[in-house]
Structure 1
Amino acid sequence: VYTAAEFENWGLTVQHTPSYTFVPTTVAGLKNLIKWAKAKNKLVRAAGYRHTWTSMYSQDGEIFLSMLDLETATTIPDPSSILPSKDYRGNEFKGIELETQDVPGTGGKKRLARIGAAVTNEDFRRWAIANNVWTVSLNVVMVEITFGGSNALMCHGGGIRHKTISDLVRRIEYVDANGEHQSVTDPVQLKAAAGSFGLLGIITHITIELDAMTYAELRPLKQDIGLAIPPPPNFKVPSAISKSYTPAELEAARQDFIRKAETSYYSEWFWFPYQPKAFVNCWDDTDDPSGLIDYPTYPDLFLQWLEGWLGGVMNDDPLFRALPGRWQAVIFSSLAMLSLPPNGPLNSRIKTHLINGLHFRRGIQNMRVRDMELQIPIPPLASDPTKPDWTVVQRAWWDAIDAVYADPEAPMRIALEMRVMGDSDIIMAAQTNNTFGTVSIEVLTSMAAVAEGVWDPFVQEVATRWMNYTGPNGAYLNTRPHWAKEWDGMKVRGTPWKQYLRETSYKDEIPAFKDVLAQIGQAQGWTLQDLKERFSVPLLDDLFF
């Protein structure tokens, strides 16, 4: 227990001082804590690595639960991905329990696993590699994140066939507002419980549907920016990266982009500012383990971790910050492209466990960044409403690039990243109802750009462009922010984004979400008012209460 320990999140956008910080390790202890908090009328919020940029944490004078020990949660650089695993015996939130029977009707291809909320992606990755039988089918790239954290805000991976991590959940276990350990397994109720922002209670365990282990066939590619994702028709490409291509070359590139987006197991594109090439990370999986390697291999694994740490050092160095913003961006982006595969024939074709393919970069935790990410629905074609219109994806990509070149202050100094993914069945997921899939697109920068005051105007400009896309009927697409990224305080066509979410983006989903929570509470002995008093924060009050 820590008294008046100052809290800050990883992105340094939230700071406060809770009255007490607890590091729970048992369900019994957590139950007693919530009962005590109820008696003292205290708000309780939990977090892991603290990667959420929005203010969804505890408050001044309230109770904060760190699901990780404070050293692990706050140390940068974080050595967990390069050192042997710690001994977590006795910590009930760190276990992985595989069920003994396959999911019925899946032909031995799926199995449930009960995963503690404090299990990190690195913990699970090591477990999956050691067993070489089961894996999650999707995940974020970062290994320094807990399952409880990625589930609460409906995080996601890439690939048109994949939904969110929360869509894989088959059971949620939590300690409720009365301090009782409860569970939810009903599929309808899980649509709210598996993505509840921490409002349901303190999540203790998540049962997830795993896939039989397959192997990622990575084919990393550094491709001309004009061909990786060709610009949409009549788009004026910034002169600094404009190249002349024949109509046949552009059409071939467009078809190749669409093929990757529509068929790849995993699909992701990066552009590092002012670089002439994009990094394309699209791949498929196979059942064949021949030629398998543990990727990234040593010494590359350590070098990736070291690159992240050095990036963090540069991020904070006053001499580096004294350089012009564009120089900073070019240095970061050049080093990024240099470090990524392929580097000649050595690593142009890589076969590794699927979970290693999902977590293909290590050491990301070591460099703090700022991040704004939107989920844009892929609309139907005006000429054929049964097919997706990929020009919206092309426009979103190129609008961000154009915004970078239009701003002489170089506000985006890290990356533009885009993934194509599916929709979601989770009520409050940003991808819900996106029939043809979702383009998940984000811009990232260094802490120096934020300190200079150039980041906030830039992300507002980019968000304005992305929020103004329309479908074939002329109506605005229901583009929504990633809940964990930066959006609070920004505006959509003059309306504060919180208000826009409440009145437009989720006008149907918010009542549905609250109705399902109320149904769960009626059966389990609590009310929505109990959730508000025990587990909510001002941001969530504005949205739901």
Structure 2
Amino acid sequence: MASTPTSQSLFSTVPSLEESIKEIGRLVKEPSDLDEAELPGLDVLINDWYDENVDVGEEEFMRRILGVFRNSSHNEVYDEVLEQYEPSERRAINSFVAGQTTAEDAAKIIVSKDASAATAGVSNNELHTEVFSTQKMQKTEFPKKAIKGFENTEFQNWGRTVKQTPAKTYYPENTAEVQTIVREAAESKMGVRVSGFRHSWSPIFGRDNKNGQKNNGDVLISTLTEKDASKLPNFTSLPSSLFQPKKTELNNISEVNAAYVHGQTLKDGKKYVRVGTSTTNEEFRRWCINDGHVTLPMNIIEVEITMGGSNSTICHGAGINHPTLSDLVRSIEYVDVNGEVRNVDMADPDLLKSASGCFGLLGVITHITFECDPISTAVMRPQKLEVIDAVPPPPDMKDSDIPGPLRKPRSQKERQIAQENFEKRANNDYYAEWFWFPYSSLVWVNTWAMDPSTKNVVEYPSKTKTVFQVFGTIAMNIAQNIVAKIDALQFQPLKQTTFLSWLAMKNLDERKDSEKPIRALLPDALHFQRGVQNIRVRDLEVELPLHAKKGTTSERDYTNVQRAWWDAIVTCYANTKTCPMRMPLEMRIMSSSEVTMAPQRGHKLGTCAIEILTLHAAADIWQPYAQQVLNHWTSYKDNDGIKLDIRPHWAKEWNNLEVDGRPWREKLKNESYKTEIAEFKNLLTAIGKKHDWTLSDIKRMFSNDVLDYLYLDDVVVTSDNRTQAHVPMLEEKKIPLVSERVVGNVTV
């Protein structure tokens, strides 16, 4: 166990989450610096919640906590959030908070504006069955329109770690418009970068502003409008199409045949599915259930992210048998430096391994084809377990090193059972992840099995639950802003953090062993938490290779996984004076990867993806803390004494952090990825040779500062610009998008 400057006496002074929450209740009720008018009724809600004789259901809790904020003397925070809603929606929410309507009725007001003719008269159960018979695939035409650029529009990513000003920003809706933008940029010798929901924390967007200039001289292509990408609260996940992006060619979804990707014919319900780069996870989730009847076997949790964005940075889900999203790519279509539409697919599998996760260096990705599995059922039994039982401390960790509120008496037999249960979940469950909110005594364990049958499934989360989740994220934002205005709590970050952790844990479901599991369609289960977009966070994630137990070659040793988990927790407790970590510690067990630049590549026994998060409000104190945790994570060795090669998630924070006392990006370039970078450049060169461009071309057109450093530092940008003179006509692909087949009496 890497040592942390802590002690038993230090930990004993930290209250448990329950003690901290009850103390806030006492401050509200009893004479103190905290005026009862600032959080009216919170003391009663807290007492009722912890009283075993009082039943506080999910709906009542949400109504009462929002009521606390609405009736607060700082209720301008509540009002500011509700101003983002339409008047009818504000009335519905206020009616719910006042107890005049149910949550279900509030949800219906939102949904009723958009009763789709396609589902009129069809019950939820009928939409969620294993028979999806005769829906005909419709070909949709998306005509080109005049494309307009907006000058000097400041760009910020979602996490507020990147800020720059492109010379021009475009919002194209189809491939032809992308071609026009790229060709005009080439003629003007301007670079091009692309953004979606802007979820990456690393500097993978446009170039930095040029010294002395008001912009960076380049072009930004935003595949979502400014409103869709940047406005908060975001309601993408609410059960209505009112809040979905406009339907365009760049978010169109369709099934394609094997010939389209030069691949093998799929069997057993698998399908090739072609998606536009701006397709959101929410749009894809709905299509999978209602139209496609397939699913990605894994995915990230957020529905507020584009398929192009999650694929370009090699994102992942969870489960020991699941690689990255980019491993499921069977075709990449892109607009190259010449403004021509190109394609890399299964005809060149080695090239596809590079193209499927290339950070936008190929060009502007317009469409991606994924191999999808038949739709199936997640058998979910989420549980809230004591921290020491959910992920047991590593064998060399002393009881005195465990923070006092988390220290529980356990016999050797009980510890053994906890270890076996943890390893069983990690090794065997289809999906496997763990969440710990700061200073909570419980871990939310979300690991589950898969059932190929889709009988007896429920809509999950239900429409009402989805509204609860979105309202819950809004309540979290209101809470952190109101707490910051309360003088009695302003300088007590521990109380602020535990209050937020309490609210967050309330929003997570649980199923006792005696209760029936949740049977949900896989796409729903993968996106169990909706509305995540509404809480801005900072995020450090590393990919830790699993290795074998001593004396074995294939039996996984989880000691370093447990060590990484507990080092993060102990470091959190060692920083209670400032509480830099105010959002969860998350951990997922997953597979290896075949994608050239994937952080998981080469992890033959699998990968532990572990991350720490905080609220954007704690950004000023975050980086030193993240560095503390990273110092632990990068210190581990395997059972042969060989130091593990810890790599970051490319989309998360790494560029400003250090490993072994030097910039992490230096180590990534010269050690961790030295061989892979050379391979990546060779494969890009091969693609360019086929498609008539060079590394010099893509450095000039599609790279940025950090990508130049990592991959193209030795590439010289030529002064001549071949693109100006080379604008070939778009070649039409002669392969049909959809194979002909008969479903019932309908030919598709």
Which TM-score band applies after superposition, normalised by the shorter structure? over 0.9
- Residue aligning to 1:265: 430
Q: Which residue of 2 aligns with 1:295?
A: 460
Q: Verify: 1:154 aligned to 2:310, yes or no.
A: no
> Post-superposition, which runs of at least 4 consecutive aligned residues in structure 1 deviate over 4 A?
86-90, 100-106, 343-348
- Pairing partner for 2:494 from 319, 326, 335: 326
Residues in 2 aligned to 1:278 and 1:329: alpha-carbon distance in whole angstroms: 16
Instruction: Rate the CA distance shift 1:20–1:347 in 2: closer, same or farther, 3 A.
Output: farther
Q: Please tell me whether residue 496 in structure 1 is matched to residue 673 in structure 2.
A: no
Let me know the Cα RMSD of the aligned residues. Answer: 1.8
Q: Which amino acid aligns with 1:205?
A: H
Work out the CA distance in 2 between the residues paired with 1:544 and 1:88. Answer: 34
1:134-168 deviations in Å (ceiling 9; x for gaps):
11111000000000000000000000000000000
Query: Whole-Å Cα distance in 2 between the matches of residues 308 and 392 of structure 1?
Result: 33
Task: Evaluate the alpha carbon distance shift between residue 259 and residue 455 of structure 1 in structure 2; reply closer, same or farther with a 3 A threshold.
Answer: same
Aligned equivalents of 2:394 and 2:506: distance in 1? 28
User: 1:107 & 1:291 partners in 2: Cα distance?
Assistant: 25
How far off is 1:346 after superposition? 11
Q: What's the TM-score once normalised by structure 2's chain length?
A: 0.71
CA contact under 8 A between 2:239 and 2:466: conserved in structure 1?
no
* Code of the aligned partner of 2:270: K
Q: Is the 8 A contact 1:370 1:446 kept in 2?
A: yes
Whether 2:618 is the aligned partner of 1:449: answer yes
Matches within 5 A, 1:48-59: 48-59=196-207
- Where in structure 2 are the equivalents of 1:180-219 lying within 5 Å? 180-185=340-345, 186-219=348-381
Deviation at 1:345, TM superposition (A): 8.8
SS of residue in 2 equivalent to 1:473: coil
**Which consecutive unaligned segments of at least 5 residues does structure 2 have?**
1-148, 208-215, 713-748
Q: Tell me the distance in 1 between the aligned counterparts of 2:256 and 2:154.
A: 40
Q: State which of 378, 384, 396 in structure 1 corresponds to 2:552.
A: 384
Any idea what the Cα deviations from partners look like across 1:384-429, whole Å, max 9, x if unmatched? 1332211111111111011101112211111000000000000101
1:315–1:367: 8 Å Cα contact kept in structure 2?
Answer: no
**Other-structure match for 1:419:** 588
Matched, 1:529 2:696: yes
Contact kept? 1:265, 1:283, Cα under 8 Å: yes
> How far does the alpha carbon of each residue in 1:297-341 deviate from its partner, in whole angstroms, 9 at most, with x for none?
132110100111222233445416825211121011111111211
Moved more, 229-238 or 165-174: 229-238
Whole-angstrom CA distance in 2 between matches of 1:521 and 1:101? 25
Gaps of 5+ in 1: none
Residue 464 of structure 1: CA displacement?
A: 0.8
CA drift of 1:83 comes to 4.8
Task: Report the CA distance between 1:504 and its aligned residue.
Answer: 1.1
Structure 2 CA distance for aligned equivalents of residues 512 and 503 of structure 1: 14
Give the counterpart letter for 1:337 in structure 2. M
Between the aligned partners of 2:393 and 2:403, the Cα distance in structure 1 is 11
Shift of 1:75: 1.1
Deviates more, 1:26-35 or 1:320-329: 320-329
CA distance in 2, matches of 1:363, 1:347: 27
- Matched with 2:226 is 70
Q: Larger Cα Rg: Structure 1 or Structure 2?
A: 2
- Aligned counterpart, 2:653: 486
- Of 97-106 and 295-304, deviating more is 97-106
Write the distance in 2 (CA, Å) between the matches of 1:21 and 1:360: 34
Q: Quick one: which of 235, 242, 250 aligns to 1:79?
A: 235
Deviation at 1:107, TM superposition (A): 3.2
Kindly indicate whether residue 187 of structure 2 is the aligned counterpart of residue 19 of structure 1: no
Q: Secondary structure at the match of 2:159?
A: coil
TM-superposed CA distance for 1:280, in Å, is 0.2
Deviation by residue 1:415-451 (Cα, 9 ceiling, x = unmatched): 000000000000101100001100000001112222x
- Out of 647, 660, 672, the residue aligned to residue 505 of structure 1 is 672
Map 1:122-521 → 2, pairs under 5 A: 122-131=282-291, 133-185=293-345, 186-235=348-397, 236-317=401-482, 318-319=484-485, 322-342=490-510, 349-408=517-576, 409-450=578-619, 453-521=620-688
Shift of 1:373: 0.4
Residue type of the alignment partner of 1:187? P
Superposed CA deviations along residues 340-396 of structure 1, whole A, max 9, x for unmatched, are 111779986211110111000001001101110000001122221332211111111
- Give the % identical residues: 39
Amino acid at match of 1:367: I
C-alpha contact (below 8 Å) 1:342/1:348 kept by paired residues: no
- Structure 1 residue 106, shift from structure 2 partner: 4.8
Which amino acid in 2 is paired with 1:369?
V
Q: CA deviation at 1:41?
A: 1.1
Q: What SS class does the counterpart of residue 210 from structure 1 fall into?
A: strand
Contact kept in structure 2, 1:214 and 1:353, CA below 8 Å: yes
| Worse-superposed segment, 485-494 or 105-114 | 105-114
Question: How far apart, CA to CA, are the structure 2 residues paired with 1:234 and 1:391?
Answer: 9
CA-to-aligned-CA distance 1:162-183 (integer Å, 9 cap, x gap):
0000000000000011111000
- 2:383·2:511 contact (CA, 8 Å) conserved in 1? no
